[in-house]
Amino acid sequence: LVRIFRLCDMDGDGKLSDRELNEFQRKCFNTPLQQRELEGVKDIIKASLPNGVTDGSLNVDGFLYLHLLFIQRGRVETTWMVLRRFGYGDDLSLREDYLYPECNVPPDCCVELSPAGYAFLTEIFKRYDVDGDSAFCSQELDNIFSLSPGIPWKHSKFPESTVTNTAGNVTLEGWLAQWSMSTLLDYKTTLAYLAYFGFPGDVRDGISIIPRHSNSTSSLRRRKRGKLQRSVFLCYVVGATGSGKSSLIRAFAKKPFTSEYTPTARTTTTVNSVDIKGSEKYLVMQEFGPYDTSVLQSRRQLEYCDLLVMVYDSSNPKSFSYLANLRNNYSLDNLPAIFVATKSDLDYVEQRSDLPPDIYCRNLMLTAPLHISAANGQMANVFQRMGAITRNPQSATPALLLSQPNKWSTVRILGITALMGVGVFSTFAAYHAL
């Protein structure tokens, strides 16, 4: 009942105003109370429990006493009706069907927050941001998650996984980003927490089911008709040990650079938003540590990947060959990809691979690697580029690009023409030197 009181206390002032009390009445009994009836309820409570009403509003003690009166007067079913309306079963725990309602998600679809879901989580943030600094301190986080079994992302190093302010407190931007990631990766957790937080109505209204692959014909048709488009994308970050993957995803979450090297022992996930032509998109980046190969050989896991971020250390001559070997050993041409050369602040070295990185990318019809340095903050708009690819995956999918014979032939002809031009120029220069 204390939890129900907190859910009904919409402004978080520790009291139920007449409006909040009437909303509670409507939710539980489908009938609002007249003003004289509201005053009558408060008078009954004040008569036996004077401190149950504060400034003309029902506080938590008064709310509990009201239900005690129901029970004492043989109206136990009234209290049970309230409990059931808020999802409780006969064992006084939240029902499974309330937390996890049946939700059919086709294999070729993904789940995102709906506009109603984003609006509700924004409202919840503002309600529990007691000091009004637009960030959740640890006490405020504890307060909101006391409505539930606790923070569901401890395994993902939350709040390191999302955007925080300089004090390490989760901002509204980071709060929404974290829930966007949670919904994409584990929508059932989101459904449960929408229920814990008191989402009004069916919690399934807080999510949207959207076709996963935007390069499908049906998805392109939906885009032309202005139907729902995806706004959350999953990026796999792969590369050799020490190539700078962790620094890349830390920079994405606006975390400070650290020169101390700590090998990634397990999957690390980070989320943030990027602005693409005035539209906000969320990118979820996953680094797998020593498990790159196990992920890339799993067809099921590759189906979830929207962008393959291939990272190598431009100061390590052996770093790029790791990526080339991955592409030789696994079928990755059907995935949109981007190559990122890290540590551009260090001395550049020639990569010991069959082909230089630029030529290798050109043969895949991809743009040359983007050179970045997380140490000095020179990121070459790499995250905006990633966002642009998720918006138009055909532009960076080797299998699609290489299947366009005319375009590929044109590139080859231009390359041959360029080489012939160099030869003619050299001959002409030699002739005049005689």
The CATH number given to whatever domain includes residue 375 is 3.40.50.300
Q: Are 296 and 209 members of one domain?
A: no
Asked if the structure places residue 132 within a domain, the reply is yes
Total of domains in the chain? 3
Q: Which helix (H) or strand (E) holds 412?
A: helix 405-433
Q: Are 203 and 283 members of one domain?
A: no
Q: Are 54 and 192 members of one domain?
A: no
Q: Are 260 and 312 members of one domain?
A: yes
Q: Are 296 and 159 members of one domain?
A: no
Q: Are 356 and 241 members of one domain?
A: yes
Greatest C-alpha distance within the chain: 117
Structure confidence at residue 406 (pLDDT): 58
Better pLDDT: 259 or 170? 170
Give the closest residue to 127 by CA, choosing from 175, 88, 183, 68. 175
Asked if the structure places residue 203 within a domain, the reply is yes
Per-residue CA distances from 96 to 66, 89, 191, 192, 208 (Å): 28, 9, 11, 9, 21
Q: Final residue of a domain: which of 67, 93, 119?
A: 93
Q: Are 267 and 372 members of one domain?
A: yes
Q: What is the CATH number of the domain that holds 30?
A: 1.10.238.10
Kindly tell me if the per-residue pLDDT of 177 is higher than 90: yes
Kindly tell me if the per-residue pLDDT of 433 is higher than 70: no
Asked if the structure places residue 271 within a domain, the reply is yes
Task: Say what the pTM is.
Answer: 0.85
First to last CA, the chain: 100
Q: Are 117 and 53 members of one domain?
A: no
Structure confidence at residue 427 (pLDDT): 34
Q: Are 142 and 78 members of one domain?
A: no
Q: Are 277 and 393 members of one domain?
A: yes
Structure confidence at residue 272 (pLDDT): 96
Q: Final residue of a domain: which of 64, 93, 122?
A: 93
Structure confidence at residue 355 (pLDDT): 94
Mean pLDDT score of the chain: 87
Domain residues for the domain of 80 are 2-93
Q: Final residue of a domain: which of 193, 224, 255?
A: 224
